[in-house]
Structure formats: C-alpha cells, structure tokens
Amino acid sequence: MGADILIVDDERAIADLVEVYLKNEGFDVHKFYNGRDAMKSVESEPADLAILDVMLPDIDGFTLCRKIREKHNFPVIMLTAKEEEVDKITGLTLGADDYVTKPFQPLELVARVKAQLRRFTRYNSAEPAQEESILEFSGLILNQDTHECILNEKPLSLTPTEFSILWVLGSRRGHVVSSEELFREVWGEKYYSNSSNTVMVHIRHLREKMCDSAEHPKYIKTVWGVGYKIEK
C-alpha cells in the first residue's frame, strides 16, 4: 500500500491532474477542494504528506499548514501561483518543507513528493544509525534515533527539515557547509536556482527557535558567499 497523500486545491483541474499522476505512482490520494474538509480529514486520519494550495476559498493554505503543524510533523509542500518570495517565506516559516510555484510540471511535483517522503522516512526510521547517533555541543543535544532536540535542558520542537539541517551542520562542526551541499543532503535533490532561498528561510526559522541571530550567532554562522557553519 502506498503512502497517503493529501491534496488541497480549489482549482479542480490541477487537483485532479496531480491525483492522476500520484495514483499512477502507487500513492493513495485524499483530494479536497477546500481547507475545512481537508482539516477534518487530517483530524480523523493524518496523511503521510500534504500538498496545500496557498489560495483557498475558505481557510488559506498558510492557516491550514499552521494548524497541521500544531499536531503533526509529516511533510508539507505548498503550491503558490505567485513568484513572490513573501509567499514562499511565509509558508516555510509556518513549517512547510518545500514549495512549488504554479504552473508546474506534474512530474516535478511527484519528484518533490518522493524526495520529501524519503527524507521523512529516514528521519523516522527506527533503525539505529550506523554513525554517531547523538550530538552534544554548546548546550545542545541532538538524538538521531529518537529525533529529540534539547537546548539548554529544554526540549526544542523542530520540523524534520530543521532537525536534518541542524544535524548536518552539527556533525560537521568547524567546517563550512555550502547551501548546495546542505540542500542535497537534507532534501535529497539536485540543487536548483531557488534552492538557496529555501535553505536560507529554514536557517532563519531555525535561528528564531534557538533564539540565535545572524548578526551575533551563538550556533549557526553565515559565511557569506560560501555557506553555513557551527563552530567547534
């Protein structure tokens, strides 16, 4: 049985087309044309991944994403009809894992869905990691087996994407990790033109949760023109 994918888009032609492509790949699809029905579905039976359109007739995609994130950590991909960075930044800040701008190629969306599910499966795998499974530094403890993050003895709630970014940077303390490398490691995809913005927004949100700053970083330092690093 394939993964359960939630699609929410009031443009029926797009929702129907995406449904066909996903079903052809063996996924089970739950399709809704408005946010309220989709929210009821999530409350009764959580999905493995959600594809949310930003512009919906009742509850907008941002609100829906925020409500999902209150209780669930499965991947969320936002669909936006605008090329505006503010839409993408808003979605990622609310806990979305990726965004796709309309018009898009259905196969590109299917590839993004598969990449997010692969990463989420790795993140939630019960198998013990072959390498070091606990990182501990500067008051921060990351446990890859339980996916818990403790900061200064208090639990820190992270999305799977945020945990993965912090794990990659933390396991390479003292070394600069480029945006391209970080994107490949975390998203498991080929780097593309807007990827640096995706990485940047997630880093910013991670800093906010950790009460860190770009100007005076205690944890994640930006090395301009190169990438990011956590000092040893």
Q: Are 84 and 112 found together in one domain?
A: yes
**Helix (H, G, I), strand (E, B), or coil: what is residue 6?**
strand
Cβ atoms 54, 62 nearer than 8 A: yes
Q: Are 106 and 144 found together in one domain?
A: no
CATH classification at residue 119: 3.40.50.2300
SS3 content of the chain, % helix, strand, coil (to 5): 40, 20, 40
Q: Are 151 and 84 found together in one domain?
A: no
Each residue's pLDDT tens digit, 170-217: 988 889 998 888 888 887 776 666 667 788 888 988 999 999 888 888
How do strand 76-80 and strand 134-137 relate by DSSP bridges?
unpaired
- DSSP calls for 128-186: PPSS--EEEETTEEEETTTTEEEETTEE----HHHHHHHHHHHHTTTS-EEHHHHHHHH
Sign of CA dihedral 21, 25, 30, 35: negative
pLDDT at 37 (0 to 100)? 93
pTM (whole model) above 0.75: no
Range of the domain at 68: 4-123
Sign of CA dihedral 66, 72, 73, 77: negative
- Asked if residue 43 is part of any domain, the answer here is yes
